[in-house]
Amino acid sequence: MKMTLQEIAGVLDTTVAKAAEQYSVTGVCFDTREIKPGDLFVPLAGARDGHDFIETAAQKGAVASFFAAGHAPVDTKLPLLVVDDPLTALQDLARYYLMIKVNPKVVAVTGSNGKTTTKDMTAAVLSTQYHVVKTKDNFNNNIGVPMTILSMETNTEVLVVEMGMDHPGELDFLSKMAEPDVAIITMIGEAHIEFFKTRDRIADAKMEIVHGLKEDGLFIYNGDEPLLQERAKNVEQDQKTFGLDPTNDLYAKNIVSSQTHTDFDLSRWPDLHFTIPIMGEYNVTNALAAILVGRRFHVKPESIQRALATFKVTSNRTEWLVGDAGESILSDVYNANPTAMAAVLANFSGFPTKGRRIAVLGDMLELGEASRDLHAGLAKSLDPAAIGEVYLYGNEMAALRDELAAKYPADQLHYYPEGEQKRLIVKLVEDVRSVDLVMLKGSHGMHLENVLQALLDAERG
């Protein structure tokens, strides 16, 4: 971005010192550890009051800072733009920058699972023909979405923005901020069921993504999901469905999944064979959503095919790595819900190996009263003949341990309550051999990335 402080002050109906009006802002930042010269600092409320870091931001090159009206003064020479609330100001500035300064086409993606992969695939497809900006990492909430918008260069033609939620109303707000030209729902799962209680309510919340959809926009959704089929009847905009059932507008067939890639054919172009560099039937459906977006933007089928074959997956999502002992590690430690966990286990169970398949599973969070049953239900996805060793971490995983005790020998089932991750790491590092396959999956809050790092860095005698 590039805006003067005078223009920003005008957008937000505030003022800035006359001597600073022509200062150029080239970015925004709310974390002083990442401040770059030319940034506008946004002091947000968190574990610490962001206003406490204004002077640090100045020392690192910030050109100005928002400042909440009524807040106690701070000792700084940095130009301040006084606003009612810094977060609201960030969101208002993002809306202006999106609509007035850049005005790209907007593709918004949400879903209980697969939204990040779908975002990555969609951006790769569109990048064959357009200048595309996509959501970085997990910047998908009421802070991350405006930050993504403000990261655009002025020549951006398409913005692919991921939208997350864990409470009703969040997607309504984000969708109305971005006013997408295309809105995508990948699937409805059990993520955040602690707050919503039922999958029906989760579906209602996910449907909020169409609340800001432009009148001439397109709604793309998983047509294999009855909850979405039912709710889509109330959407007036054009619609396209994807899935594995032949009733969808776009469906896949002849799916063959391996450890490092998945092959499939399409109903639409029988002469084109598709490959994605990621495992799993569930990722094929994500690719179908990206294909529909590509066709909406008139990307040629052959270009879509090439883009999907080489797209890059956001780190820690079904990523294959090699451990210190030479073992192959499937890292999927960013997030977890029962649907996704079962799907990954199903694929992992079939991968060829000269050693053992070892599953390391962490708690799936935010499942509320259904947590015990949903964790225990994973037992049907674990077979000692396919996955020889199971490591469980977290208090909720005790329910799965109890279920597995009937079919797993005691020396092949390892359970560690929350707080005992170091014990798990010691045992696992001792256990794993070069010929083994290791899978790690759990909610981000369980920090299985520590286990991953231990396997990557371990020194074995």
Which CATH number characterizes residue 383's domain? Answer: 3.90.190.20
- State yes or no: 115 annotated in a binding site: yes
CA distance linking residue 242 with residue 218, whole number of Å = 13
- State yes or no: 38 annotated in a binding site: no
Full residue range of the structural domain in which residue 16 is found = 3-84
- State yes or no: 353 annotated in a binding site: no
Task: Indicate whether 433 and 403 sit together in one domain.
Answer: yes
Q: Is residue 92 part of a domain?
A: no
Task: Indicate whether 325 and 243 sit together in one domain.
Answer: no
Model confidence at 192: pLDDT above 80? no
Summarize pLDDT for 42-85 with one digit per residue, the tens: 999 988 999 999 999 999 999 999 999 999 999 999 999 999 99
Q: Is residue 93 part of a domain?
A: no
Summarize pLDDT for 232-268 with one digit per residue, the tens: 999 999 999 999 999 999 999 999 988 889 999 998 8
Reduce the secondary structure of 410-446 to three states and give it as a string.
Answer: HHHEEEECCCCHHHHHHHHHHHCCCCCEEEEECCHHH
Summarize pLDDT for 393-419 with one digit per residue, the tens: 999 999 999 999 999 999 999 999 999
- State yes or no: 111 annotated in a binding site: yes
- State yes or no: 310 annotated in a binding site: no
Q: Is residue 174 part of a domain?
A: yes
Q: Is residue 95 part of a domain?
A: no
Domain boundary (291, 310, 329) is at 310
CA distance linking residue 99 with residue 122, whole number of Å = 21
- State yes or no: 380 annotated in a binding site: no
CA distance linking residue 124 with residue 132, whole number of Å = 9
Task: Indicate whether 323 and 453 sit together in one domain.
Answer: yes
Average pLDDT over residues 17-40: 96
Task: Indicate whether 40 and 140 sit together in one domain.
Answer: no
Residues 415 and 392: beta-carbon distance below 8 Å: yes
* Residue 342: φ, ψ to 5°: -65, -40
Confidence of residue 368 (pLDDT cuts 50, 70, 90): confident
Burial 370-397 (b: 16+ CB within 10 A, else e): ebeebbbbbbebbeeeebbbbbbbbebb
Which CATH number characterizes residue 284's domain? Answer: 3.40.1190.10
DSSP, residue by residue, 378-410: GGGG--TTT--EEEEESSTTHHHHHHHTTTS-G
Task: Indicate whether 269 and 301 sit together in one domain.
Answer: yes
Return the pLDDT at 193.
58
Return the pLDDT at 461.
40
Q: Could you tell me the pTM of the whole model?
A: 0.87
Half-sphere exposure of 438 (CA within 13 A, CB side): 29
Mean pLDDT of all residues belonging to the chain: 94
Rg (CA), the chain: 24
Q: Is residue 90 part of a domain?
A: no
Q: Is residue 262 part of a domain?
A: yes
- State yes or no: 116 annotated in a binding site: yes
Summarize pLDDT for 258-303 with one digit per residue, the tens: 888 999 999 889 899 999 999 889 899 999 999 999 999 999 999 9
Half-sphere exposure of 210 (CA within 13 A, CB side): 23
Task: Indicate whether 73 and 165 sit together in one domain.
Answer: no
Q: Which of 124-128, 164-168, 270-274, 309-313 ranks highest by mean pLDDT? A: 124-128
CA distance linking residue 184 with residue 313, whole number of Å = 18
Q: Is residue 149 part of a domain?
A: yes
Q: Is residue 98 part of a domain?
A: no
Token pair, residue 54, equals 């204004």
Task: Indicate whether 197 and 300 sit together in one domain.
Answer: yes
Q: Terminal CA-to-CA distance of the chain, rounded, Å?
A: 52
